[in-house]
């Protein structure tokens, strides 16, 4: 039986004008109500933290150059804030959304307006609460900046988002309380399962009818998938059965498209765009899109580490070619799954992707003006709680004021905020040595960094006499994963005065203190944000 698809709109030739008319600059305005509600994304009902009672939170589609203006209204009984992951926030530091750094947390019943432009960037981004562990409970959504001049735009006819997340059946605050207690011994909470665009299949025999996220592809066309890992902890390996993926974007940076993969490993905070072509396949059937949590990096495996979505073929007329589910419907026992697990165990091969992914252009500064050595270590404090440290400092969020306010009032920064002072125009080389046995996705606010070198697992500390830095065509992005007992060298340009957090995007590790703040040309912040002798006091919660 054939099903007619009513949305002829799906087959418009340019995906960019499907979403928005990019012919003139616009302002995307919205009210975001932060609220709890009940939902069962994977068949298990729980309290979910959403925006306007939606989970995942609404997708924001804008064009490059548009302004985004969003009023966040706090309707829960805890403070909140929203960070726009990957946005440079040129001149709009107070919209970066980090409580204790760029703003006071938004108190219950209060609101805050975020307003920023998208002049110098395009691609796949996301947004999430930056307060406590709220994004783990659901407060996150996709943010797509379309560019009519995207170098890949003529290579695909349609596009969709695959937003991945790990998913927990216990409220994040309870998990965090356990994690940051002596009892956990530093072992991170294990997710129960995973979701694609807010849909998962925790236990199909119990629920007896699992639902799947559905996405269509028209035969003989190419579709762009924007893959976003919004996990608290999980690294995903994603496959689209029977299809290869051409990698064209990493964190808003366009790639040369020469890397084509069967499976893709993606860490928390990272994004990729891939092109999938629908013609060398058997066009009379549907295919699984499958994301599996890499449980090797966890103390134990999730109950259901795999989530699936359906890639549905439609013919030239937009009719489904098959009403059947893809074959191999058992989540844990297919050959494909085994293949995926194999590829997971080759983990390093995927991380090595940093040396194989080549951006379309790489305007990397050839020399640095400053080197900053940063060491990652986890160890227990006096209360036997395992904390995370950059250079022996475990980050503690300011509650009663912000670093921006301290800057304006010319007061010293607390040591626990690990503030690194840099000057306008500095070219910084961050030499990161990971002394921990875990992998850490390091994210920098307000910038992208070039990955000049990245060691394999157990390579140990960076050794400048042995490692050649790639200053020819290094990949730039905003979130890069450092291997266990290994190093990375990241270069970035201080071209954006502000107070920019850098942290591990495993949310448990951020809560355990794996964060610091770059005070970049902080003396210039007075001009933009005013000089104030008084210290701003954040309303007490
Ligand atoms: Cu998406 Cu500070 O993070």
- The model's pLDDT over 235-253, given as tens digits with 9 standing for 90+, comes to 999 999 889 999 999 999 9
Name the least confident of 15-19, 115-119, 121-125, 128-132. 15-19
Residue where a domain stops, chosen among 146, 169, 189: 146
Taking alpha carbons only, the member of 144, 172, 159 closest to residue 231 is: 172
Same domain, 432 and 498: yes
Residues 224 and 301 in one domain: yes
Q: Which residues pair with 83 in a beta bridge?
A: 128
Report pLDDT for 10. Answer: 37
Determine the average pLDDT of the residues in 47-74. Answer: 97
Reported as a pLDDT band with limits 50, 70 and 90, residue 493 is very high
Instruction: List Cα–Cα distances, 459 to 255, 375, 431, 439, 485, in angstroms.
Output: 27, 14, 14, 13, 6
Report percent pLDDT > 90 for the chain. 80
| pLDDT of the residue at 334 | 43
Are residues 416 and 393 in contact, defined by beta-carbon separation less than 8 angstroms?
A: yes
Tell the residue number behind the tokens 């926030």, with chain if given: 89
Domain-terminating residue out of 322, 355, 388: 355
473 domain-assigned: yes
pLDDT tens profile 142-192? 999 999 999 999 999 999 999 999 999 999 999 999 999 999 999 999 999
Cα–ligand 1 centroid distance for 514 (angstroms): 12
Note the pLDDT of residue 539. 87
DSSP characters for 323-338? -SPPS---TTS-HHHH
CB 510 within 8 Å of CB 389: no
128 CA distance to ligand 1 middle (Å): 7
Atom of ligand 1 nearest to the CA of 445: 2
Residue 135 lies in a domain: yes
Specify whether 301 is located in the same domain as 175.
yes
Are 385 and 506 within one domain? Answer: yes
- pLDDT exceeds 70 at position 137: yes
Per-residue pLDDT, 330: 38
Are 95 and 221 part of one and the same domain?
A: no
Tally of CB atoms within 10 A around 10: 16
Cα 457 to Cα 202: distance, rounded to the nearest angstrom = 32
- Which atom belonging to ligand 1 lies closest to the Cα atom of 85? 1
pLDDT tens across 367-400, in order?
999 999 999 999 999 999 999 999 999 999 999 9
For the CA of 128, the closest atom of ligand 1 is: 1
User: How far is Cα 142 from Cα 225, in angstroms, rounded to an integer?
Assistant: 13
Distance 88 CA to ligand 1 centre (A): 12
Asked if residue 316 belongs to a domain, the reply is yes
Number of domains observed in the structure of the chain: 3
Please tell me whether residues 115 and 230 are part of one structural domain. Answer: no
In a domain, residue 296? The reply is yes
What is the distance between the alpha carbons of residues 533 and 361, in angstroms, rounded to a whole number? Answer: 44
* 323, 376: one domain: no
Ligand 1 centroid to 502 CA: how many Å?
A: 8
Residue 293 placed within a domain: yes
Six-digit token string for 516? 């610091």
Residues 288 and 349 in one domain: yes
User: CA-CA distance, 411 to 407, in Å (whole number)?
Assistant: 6
Comparing CA positions, the residue from 164, 132, 127 lying closest to residue 142 is 127
pLDDT value for 209: 78
Domain boundary (146, 177, 211) is at: 146
pLDDT for 2? 35
- As a whole number of angstroms, the distance between CA 512 and CA 388 comes to 5
| Residue 94's CATH number | 2.60.40.420
What's the average model confidence in pLDDT over 439-450? 98
Check: CB of residue 93 under 8 Å from CB of residue 518: no
- Say what the pLDDT of residue 123 is: 98
Going by CA atoms, what residue is nearest to atom 3 of ligand 1? 85
- Dihedral angle sign, alpha carbons of residues 281, 338, 458, 299: positive
pLDDT band, residue 225 (cuts 50/70/90) = very high
Please check whether residue 471 lies inside any domain of the structure: yes
| Residue 479 alpha carbon, nearest atom of ligand 1 | 1
CA dist 40 and 356 (Å) reads 40
CA of 478 to the centre of ligand 1 (A): 10
For residue 397 and ligand 1, the question of a CB distance below 6 A is answered with no
Question: Distance from the CA of 529 to the center of ligand 1, in angstroms?
Answer: 22
Which residue, judged by its Cα, is nearest atom 1 of ligand 1? 85
Which pLDDT belongs to residue 207? Answer: 66
Neighbours of 76 (CB within 10 A): 16
The yes-or-no verdict on residue 7 having pLDDT over 60 is no
Asked if residue 381 and residue 329 are part of one domain, the reply reads no
| Range from 72-76, 292-296, 417-421, 426-430 carrying the lowest mean pLDDT | 292-296
pLDDT at position 318 is 87
Reply yes or no on whether the pLDDT at 271 is more than 90.
Answer: yes
Q: Are residues 194 and 341 in the same domain?
A: yes
Residue 194, domain member (yes or no):
yes
Q: What is the mean pLDDT of residues 490-507?
A: 98
Query: Is the whole model's pTM more than 0.85, yes or no?
Result: yes
Confidence of residue 420 (pLDDT cuts 50, 70, 90): very high
Q: Answer yes or no: is pLDDT of 338 > 70.
A: no
> What does pLDDT average to over the chain?
90
Question: Shortest CA distance to 34 belongs to which of 80, 70, 74?
Answer: 74
Domain for residue 363, yes or no? Answer: no
Residues 136 and 257 in one domain: no
Q: Do both 255 and 394 map to the same domain?
A: no
Domain limits at 401?
A: 370-529
């Amino acid at each position: 039986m054939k099903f007619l698809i009513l949305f002829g709109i799906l087959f418009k030739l340019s995906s960019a004008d499907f979403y928005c008319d990019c012919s003139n600059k616009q302002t995307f305005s919205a009210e975001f109500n932060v609220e709890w509600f009940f939902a069962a994304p994977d068949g298990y009902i729980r309290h979910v933290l959403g925006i306007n009672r939606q989970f995942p939170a609404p997708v924001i589609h804008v064009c490059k150059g548009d302004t985004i203006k969003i009023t966040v209204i706090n309707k829960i009984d805890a403070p909140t804030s929203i960070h726009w992951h990957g946005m440079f926030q040129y001149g709009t530091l107070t919209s970066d959304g980090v409580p204790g750094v760029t703003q006071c947390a938004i108190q219950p019943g209060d609101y805050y307006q975020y307003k920023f432009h998208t002049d110098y960037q395009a691609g796949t981004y996301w947004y999430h609460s930056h307060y406590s562990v709220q994004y783990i409970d659901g407060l996150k959504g996709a943010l797509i900046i379309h560019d009519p001049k995207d170098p890949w735009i003529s290579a695909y006819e349609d596009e969709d988002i695959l937003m991945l997340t790990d998913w927990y059946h216990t409220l994040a605050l309870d998990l965090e309380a356990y994690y940051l207690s002596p009892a956990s011994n530093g072992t991170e909470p294990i997710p129960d399962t995973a979701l694609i665009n807010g849909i998962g299949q925790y236990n199909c025999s119990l629920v007896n009818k699992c639902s799947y996220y559905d996405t269509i592809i028209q035969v003989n066309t190419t579709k762009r998938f924007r893959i976003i890992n919004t996990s608290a902890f999980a690294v995903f390996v994603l496959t689209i059965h029977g299809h290869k993926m051409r990698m064209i974007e990493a964190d808003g940076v366009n790639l040369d498209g020469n890397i084509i993969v069967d499976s893709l490993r993606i860490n928390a905070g990272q994004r990729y765009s891939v092109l999938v072509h629908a013609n060398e396949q058997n066009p009379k059937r549907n295919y699984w899109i499958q994301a599996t949590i890499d449980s090797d990096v966890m103390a134990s495996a999730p109950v259901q580490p795999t989530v699936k979505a359906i890639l549905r073929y439609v013919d030239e007329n937009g009719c489904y070619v098959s009403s059947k589910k893809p074959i191999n419907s058992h989540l844990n026992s297919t050959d494909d799954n085994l293949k995926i697990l194999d590829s997971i165990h080759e983990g390093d091969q995927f991380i090595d992707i940093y040396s194989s992914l080549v951006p379309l252009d790489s305007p990397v500064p050839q020399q640095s003006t400053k080197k900053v050595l940063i060491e990652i270590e986890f160890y227990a404090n006096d209360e036997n709680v395992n904390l995370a440290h950059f250079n022996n400092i475990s980050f503690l969020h300011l509650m009663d004021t912000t670093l921006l306010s301290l800057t304006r009032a010319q007061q010293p920064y607390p040591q626990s905020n690990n503030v690194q002072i840099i000057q306008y125009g500095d070219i910084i080389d961050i030499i990161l040595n990971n002394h921990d046995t875990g992998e850490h996705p390091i994210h920098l606010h307000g910038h992208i960094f070039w990955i000049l070198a990245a060691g394999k697992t157990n390579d140990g500390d960076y050794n400048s006499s042995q490692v050649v830095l790639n200053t020819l065509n290094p990949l730039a992005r905003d979130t890069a994963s450092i291997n266990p007992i290994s190093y990375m060298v990241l270069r970035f340009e201080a071209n954006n005065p502000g107070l920019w957090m850098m942290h591990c995007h495993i949310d448990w590790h951020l809560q355990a203190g794996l964060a610091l703040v770059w005070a970049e040309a902080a003396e210039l912040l007075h001009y933009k944000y005013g000089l104030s002798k008084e210290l701003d006091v954040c309303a007490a919660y």
